[in-house]
């Protein structure tokens, strides 16, 4: 029987108890009834106290379980090994957090500490491959700036006049603008990806070949900053 039903029954029994018959009048009859009710009322009160204590214990246990569950979830969220990269039918990747919820590549990169270009290096998706190509050209030019490699800088600027007077940080900004879904820009994941798709085929700059000329890219036109 449920504890609450037991408690209710104790008080019902107390209210319905009958005192022994007496000819001493109603006052004495009520006195006897009160004496006979007392044991049941006492049992009801004791049962109520026990029920209250049990409910409080159960509430404390539930709170503790919820607290431990939350701690475990936070620990999983902070563990880079709990995140998954799953290949999709288009050759790209789907990214999952420790609970199995899909997340974007920007969140995956932040949680795992990996570079985006390394995450996508084995991707067969055309958008990912174009990003890798752009990133490699960007990195080559940035390294030329840092190493004062004037020959490489001049070759890139000759092929891409819009790069004149640009700094590595400026070039990185263009990369982020072209691929908003990879860097967590441009709204939700789906909206940002659609923005990236609109930029397909527009390299940020034309790559430089081994002979100092342009070549090796997939560009159909120069990238115009917006």
Within this chain, do residues 152 and 206 fall inside the same structural domain, yes or no?
A: yes
What's the whole-model pTM score? 0.63
If you average pLDDT over every residue of the chain, what do you get? 76
Within this chain, do residues 102 and 43 fall inside the same structural domain, yes or no?
A: no
Is the pLDDT assigned to residue 201 strictly greater than 90? Answer: no
The answer to whether residue 120 sits within a structural domain is no
Tens of pLDDT, residues 87-133: 999 999 999 999 999 999 999 999 999 999 999 999 999 999 999 99
What's the burial of 191, exposed, middle or buried (CB within 10 Å: 0-12/13-18/19+)? Answer: exposed
Q: Pick the closest to residue 217 from 153, 208, 174 (CA basis).
A: 208
Q: Which domain holds residue 12?
A: 3-67
Q: Indicate the DSSP class of residue 103.
A: E
Within this chain, do residues 158 and 212 fall inside the same structural domain, yes or no?
A: yes
Within this chain, do residues 103 and 194 fall inside the same structural domain, yes or no?
A: no
What's the burial of 176, exposed, middle or buried (CB within 10 Å: 0-12/13-18/19+)? Answer: middle
Instruction: Give the N- to C-terminal CA distance of the chain in Å, as an integer.
Output: 73
Within this chain, do residues 144 and 224 fall inside the same structural domain, yes or no?
A: yes
Within this chain, do residues 63 and 80 fall inside the same structural domain, yes or no?
A: no
Tens of pLDDT, residues 149-196: 999 888 888 887 877 777 878 888 888 989 999 999 877 767 888 889
Within this chain, do residues 177 and 97 fall inside the same structural domain, yes or no?
A: no
| Structural domain count, the chain | 3
Confidence band for 12, pLDDT divided at 50, 70 and 90: low
């Amino acid at each position: 029987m449920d504890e609450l039903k037991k408690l209710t029954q104790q008080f019902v029994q107390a209210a319905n108890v009958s005192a022994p018959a007496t000819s001493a009048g109603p006052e004495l009859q009520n006195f006897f009834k009160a004496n006979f009710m007392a044991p049941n009322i006492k049992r009801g009160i004791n049962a109520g106290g026990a029920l209250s204590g049990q409910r409080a214990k159960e509430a404390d246990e539930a709170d503790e379980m919820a607290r431990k569950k939350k701690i475990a979830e936070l620990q999983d969220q902070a563990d880079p090994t709990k995140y998954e990269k799953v290949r999709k039918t288009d050759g790209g990747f789907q990214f999952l957090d420790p609970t199995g919820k899909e997340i974007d590549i920007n969140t995956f990169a932040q949680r795992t500490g990996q570079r985006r270009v390394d995450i996508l290096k084995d991707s067969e998706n055309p958008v990912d491959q174009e990003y890798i190509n752009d990133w490699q050209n960007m990195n080559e030019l940035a390294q030329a700036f840092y190493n004062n490699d004037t020959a490489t800088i001049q070759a890139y600027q000759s092929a891409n006049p819009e790069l004149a007077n640009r700094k590595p940080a400026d070039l990185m900004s263009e990369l982020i603008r072209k691929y908003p879904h990879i860097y967590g820009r441009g709204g939700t994941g789906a909206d940002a990806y659609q923005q990236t798709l609109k930029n397909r085929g527009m390299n940020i700059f034309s790559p430089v070949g081994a002979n100092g000329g342009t070549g090796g890219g997939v560009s159909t036109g120069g990238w115009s900053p917006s």
